Structure 1
Amino acid sequence: MSSSSTPRAQAQPRARQPIRAAAGSFLGTLIEWFDFYIYATASALIFSHVFFPGSSQLVGTLSSFATLAVGFVARPLGGIIFGHLGDRFGRKYSLILTLVLMGVSTVGIGLLPSYAQAGFWAPVLLVGLRILQGIAVGGEWGGAVLLASEHAPEGKKSFYASFAQLGSPAGLVLSLMVFRFITEMPEADMYAWGWRLPFIGSIVLLLLAFVIRRGVHESPEFEALAQQGQPAQSPVKTVVRDAWPLILLVMGACTIGISSAYFTNTFMIAYATQYMGIKSSVILECLSVVALVQLINQPIAAWLADKVGAGRFLLVTSGISILVPYVMFSLVSTGQGTMIILGIALAKVFSSAFYAVIAGYITDVFPVAQRYSGISLAYQACGALIGGTTPMVGTLIAGQAAGQWWPLAVFYSALALTSFLCVGALTRRRSVLAPAAA
């Protein structure tokens, strides 16, 4: 082999790394979100019967959604733990650990005894494993986004970072497909053992994702930092002390991207089945179609954002999201499958476009040395405060609204308005500090 061919041979694997990193981020977050969504779906359909029997329908549903919210409360802890590890020792190292933790906790949930078998300890163990699941997701997101965005070619950060965001709709599609099958089982079998299958079966996906992630190189930006001997010693402490206003703004900016997923994908299941009398299999089928729309929409949105400017794109999509819930509920209230799909899909087109782009947008807010900690803490704190409580708040509003949907639409609008205002503040700040980055 000639000496001139050696650099070329070495350059080819490096050239493929952005694609591998994007694929690794997508597949990893697919597994993480599949595990997370099967819990969210089970909390809406199953857990009130298995772990909280004897309660009224409202109390049982709220109790199930409370265990869902516990996982969100644990997510900032995961962001702190794995953000520290990712900023100190590397993005790849941290991501392997989050994957293992998610797999162990999810399979454990599938093996839990019911309340009838273990009494009080059944929901206690459920909450404990849910906390571990939340910690894993809390550490996963930031690392996956950074692994993709820090490998991205110039001018394509939004597009490449969006592949980490694709794990959410893909995981949702997979989880809904699984539960579509489970809800067709005889009711006794579904509550006894059918619901356990996706939790236990996730071990297969865990092993696949582990193999894929081992083949992805470390982030080039972190490697450059490490070669200079400059990894942060206390990244979480540093970013909280020096950049807490930015953390608050990023939390607000992420609001509609996070909350809309749990509004449409979790709360709407309970709302449609309990308040509108729609069969669970029908609403799950509708949400499956909507998730496919989201899966197609997100990479297109990220590509477009790179062309027109991420800040401008986020302002437009969050602004439209303020208005869209009124149309969504008008269509959903017809009770017809096609209208339900159109209504929820309309909301998801804009919220998922926002969700696809916000990840790459906020990576530039924090310096490389504290970036994993900064974006993880902000994003997961938003998830704990807003995302995890959205189904509970929606359930409380629906319970008090006497069949009226407009209070729920106002709630959704308030979430979108929060993102619109905070993105505007971040965009103005970026324009002042670096006009070319706005």
Structure 2
Amino acid sequence: MNDLDRTGPEAPPGGKAPVVSGKEAGRIAFAAFVGTALEWYDYFLFGTAAALVFNRLYFTTLNPTAATLAAFATFGVGFVARPLGAVLFGWMGDRIGRRPALLITVVAIGVATGLIGVLPDFAAIGVAAPLLLALLRLVQGIAVGGEWGGAVTIAVEHAPPEKRGRYAALPQIGSPVGTLLSSGAFALVLTLPPEQFDSWGWRLPFLAAFPLLLVAVYIRRKVEESPVFEEMERQEARSKVPAVDVFRKAWGRLLVAIASALLGVGGFYVMTTFAISYGTGTLGLERGLMVNATLVAAVAQIGVILVFGRLAERIGPGRVTLWGGVATAAIAFPVFWMIDTRSPVLVVLAVAAGVAILSIAYAVSGALLTELFPAHLRYSGVALAYNLAGALSGFLPFAATALLDVSNGGSWVASLLLVGIALITAVGGLVGERLRVRDEVVVR
């Protein structure tokens, strides 16, 4: 039997299927959500700062356009590093345990983010400043590379099969909550006079990562190991090098998973990081307006994730992904036309609508990706798929900004990019629905 024909850990003679509890599922999923929210807060801070701060304070020898491109390139370093984190923490999660991997990721990203808050700028230490900034972003990327895959894996493996959609959606809410926290923090410090903001105000959200790290570690220590993983340990059913086995035995599933995750990662950064830069740099809109637009979008995103996470239990996460991709392609041009009006109301509405609709597919990424891989390859497969999608799409803000010159500042280039990744995700959802596997578990 091929490894991918298995729907989960197979009980040997006299063995038994993993036991999951509906009572424990909600608690574990909530713990996964809180830790993920704190990690995304740390990670998203960099995206906002890249658009508003780093281009001016860390790349001061470049002209404004080149400085913005350099800041976005540094932002993209985190996405390139994420597959490395997926391999490292995927090995740990599939060999040693889901829980220890998640404890390490949260410590690594919290420390890296806090250190950005004390990093001297170019005026103080010269070229070492952007180099150290890129290094800390690299650490962030490696840590996040193992975070999301582990969070959705442990949430799903604690949940009864018929309720996996809702519990897999809870870690997804960590993204908009992280956006609310990071954008809210920047919205507060942007009220400072420009001189104070540039001098020390922008550092405060990064420094807040240190106390938040203590909260995250406390929560993660209370997360119990996955019963599915514990059963694999008893059966000695673990892969020796999970990432290699994913590429050797599940490469087709990996491609489908990458396609289905592309919109939720890349589309989000087009509608937030690029939109902030485009609105403030090209259209001359207030920084506060663009940041506040992402706050409204994050609130809308939470509602979408909750609704469509439950819908996935009825019609399947692949079908939800398909229609989410089609809907995003349909609104890609209208949302940027609304931003181009420079009307504050329409700008906020456009960003909120764009993020909300692309979040239809994102809402069910956890449920779909975890069911594309058997349990012994799951952490690695999910982490690799999600973070390879991030590596492929993380430079979209950079690409869209670079292409603005070609379009004479027109937003249609960003719209085309959004349409392209939305349609790829739609195809991933269509195929992925047919490839889903289920663990054999006992619900108590």
TM-score of the pair, normalised by structure 2: 0.92
Is the aligned partner of 1:421 residue 2:420?
no
Which digits, 9 at most, give the CA deviation of each residue in 1:331-388, with x for residues without a partner?
Answer: 11111121112222222222112101021111111111111011111111110111x1
Which digits, 9 at most, give the CA deviation of each residue in 1:225-262, with x for residues without a partner?
Answer: 11222222211121111112221221112111111111
Matches within 5 A, 1:192-207: 192-207=199-214
Q: Which moved more, 1:405-414 or 1:218-227?
A: 405-414
CA contact (8 A) 1:271 1:398 kept: no
Q: Which residue matches 2:5?
A: none
Q: Which moved more, 1:343-352 or 1:63-72?
A: 343-352
Matches within 5 A, 1:30-69: 30-69=37-76
Which digits, 9 at most, give the CA deviation of each residue in 1:317-344, with x for residues without a partner?
Answer: 1111111112111211111121112222
Evaluate the alpha carbon distance shift between residue 243 and residue 335 of structure 1 in structure 2; reply closer, same or farther with a 3 A threshold: same
Matches within 5 A, 1:270-289: 270-289=277-296
SS at match of 1:400: coil
CA contact (8 A) 1:170 1:291 kept: yes
Matches within 5 A, 1:285-324: 285-324=292-331
Q: Which moved more, 1:397-406 or 1:146-155?
A: 397-406
The one-letter code of the counterpart of 2:257 is V
| Residue of structure 2 aligned with 1:189, choices 192, 196, 217 | 196
Q: Whole-Å Cα distance in 2 between the matches of residues 309 and 245 of structure 1?
A: 20
- CA RMSD across the alignment: 1.5
Q: Which residue matches 1:154?
A: 161
| Residue of structure 2 aligned with 1:81, choices 77, 83, 88 | 88
Matches within 5 A, 1:21-420: 21-386=28-393, 388-420=394-426
CA drift at 1:429: 4.0
Q: Whole-Å Cα distance in 2 between the matches of residues 293 and 337 of structure 1?
A: 17
Q: Which residue matches 2:11?
A: none
CA drift at 1:14: 5.2
Q: Whole-Å Cα distance in 1 between the matches of residues 224 and 35 of structure 2?
A: 14
SS at match of 1:230: coil
SS at match of 1:370: helix
CA contact (8 A) 2:260 2:321 kept: no
Q: Whole-Å Cα distance in 2 between the matches of residues 229 and 409 of structure 1?
A: 49
Q: Whole-Å Cα distance in 1 between the matches of residues 384 and 150 of structure 2?
A: 12
SS at match of 1:166: helix
CA contact (8 A) 1:17 1:216 kept: no
Q: Which residue matches 2:13?
A: none
Q: Whole-Å Cα distance in 2 between the matches of residues 83 and 62 of structure 1?
A: 32
Identity %: 37
Note the residue ranges of structure 1 that are not aligned, 5 or more in a row.
Answer: 1-12
Note the residue ranges of structure 2 that are not aligned, 5 or more in a row.
Answer: 1-19, 439-444
CA drift at 1:168: 0.6
Q: Higher relative CO (CA 8 A, sep ≥ 6), structure 1 or 2? A: 2
Q: Whole-Å Cα distance in 2 between the matches of residues 128 and 347 of structure 1?
A: 32
CA contact (8 A) 1:27 1:167 kept: yes
The one-letter code of the counterpart of 2:420 is A
CA contact (8 A) 1:17 1:217 kept: no
The one-letter code of the counterpart of 1:418 is I
The one-letter code of the counterpart of 1:399 is D
Which digits, 9 at most, give the CA deviation of each residue in 1:148-199, with x for residues without a partner?
Answer: 1111123111211111111110000111111011112111211111111111
CA drift at 1:423: 2.0
Which digits, 9 at most, give the CA deviation of each residue in 1:276-327, with x for residues without a partner?
Answer: 1100011111211111111122111101121222222111111111111121
Q: Whole-Å Cα distance in 2 between the matches of residues 408 and 383 of structure 1?
A: 17
SS at match of 2:341: coil
Q: Whole-Å Cα distance in 2 between the matches of residues 400 and 45 of structure 1?
A: 23
